[in-house]
Amino acid sequence: MDQSMKPLLPPTEQARRHLTASNISFFVPNQFNLGTLLCIGSLMQIILCAIPCATVLLISILTTIQNCFQPKTNPFMTDVVPGRTTAQIPGKNGKYGPEPGKGSVVVFHLGIQYNHPLGIFAPRMLEISNKFLSMQQYILRRKDELGLLAVWKSIHKFAHEPLHREIWAYYNQYNPGHVGVFHETFITKDGGYESMYVNCHPILLGRGEVKVNSRKDSTEDWMGTLVSADTPGLKSFKARLGKED
């Protein structure tokens, strides 16, 4: 029997470079016990989790500082109307005044409440919310017909239309005690409203638009309600109400 020893690896022209274990994997387990290793691992995990949060926070801080010292780059100032403004309802011809507070304005608030520990996840809340939103969109799509700045008769008309009656019937059918619904209606006469906005985004009545025919042809445009409040006839509270100052 051949008793000579045989190599397991064949000969090569160049010396082999064998992969060896990492020095860290050899050093660390022999220097620390299991509890210390777990603490080190936890600390490294915390650091890895904190880096993204710290990065986002740093970017937010730097952006805020930039917006404070360079207002032109501030995205929150987009669409802000500088100075003193007030809301006035234009006439059908697209002209304002000359009397301030001219025309009747109807304010109609329509809403729902969640009176349940689960909030929007309460039973039937999804269905009711979707129906409420569909009714809201229905009104907005017909704002030139119903008029969000109109007479109370358009509200009465909407209340008797199929969509509103269908949703009201659905609510009464299930009668969910944890869901509240409400509406408010305010009707003003000539000189019964006034407003003041200073360096604000168009909001509330100042965000309103009225369909007018200001051109010679039959084309209609939407005209906003905001006008400058620095006009002599609009500078004071009483003046904006159409009363002598």
Percentage of the chain with pLDDT > 90? 2
DSSP codes of every residue in 12-68 = -SS--------HHHHHHHHHS-HHHHHHHHHHHHHHHHHHHHHHHHHHHHHHHHHHH
Gyration radius (Cα) of the chain, Å: 35
User: How would residue 151 be classed by pLDDT, with cut points 50, 70 and 90?
Assistant: very low
Higher pLDDT, 29 or 127: 127
Q: How far is CA 37 from CA 33, 50, 84, in A?
A: 6, 20, 65
pLDDT at residue 135, as a whole number: 80
**pTM value?**
0.61
* Contact between 62 and 73 (Cβ < 8 Å): no
Q: Delimit the domains of the chain by residue range.
A: 83-194+222-241
What DSSP state is assigned to residue 2?
Answer: -
Residue indicated by tokens 């011809």: 93
Percentage of the chain with pLDDT > 70? 85
Distance CA 84, CA 199 (A): 7
Residues in the chain: 245
Q: Which of these ranges, 20-29, 36-45, 58-67, 231-240, has the smallest mean pLDDT?
A: 20-29
How many CA atoms within 13 Å lie on the side-chain side of 243?
9
Phi and psi angles of residue 185, each rounded to the nearest 5 degrees, phi first? -130, 125
User: How would residue 58 be classed by pLDDT, with cut points 50, 70 and 90?
Assistant: very high
pLDDT at residue 188, as a whole number: 83
Tell me the mean pLDDT in the region 215-238: 82
The predicted-structure confidence for 88-105, as pLDDT tens digits, reads as follows 888 777 787 777 877 778
* Contact between 47 and 56 (Cβ < 8 Å): no
* Contact between 236 and 245 (Cβ < 8 Å): yes
pLDDT surpassing 80 at residue 159:
no
pLDDT surpassing 70 at residue 24:
no
pLDDT at residue 220, as a whole number: 78
pLDDT at residue 150, as a whole number: 44
Mean pLDDT of the chain: 79
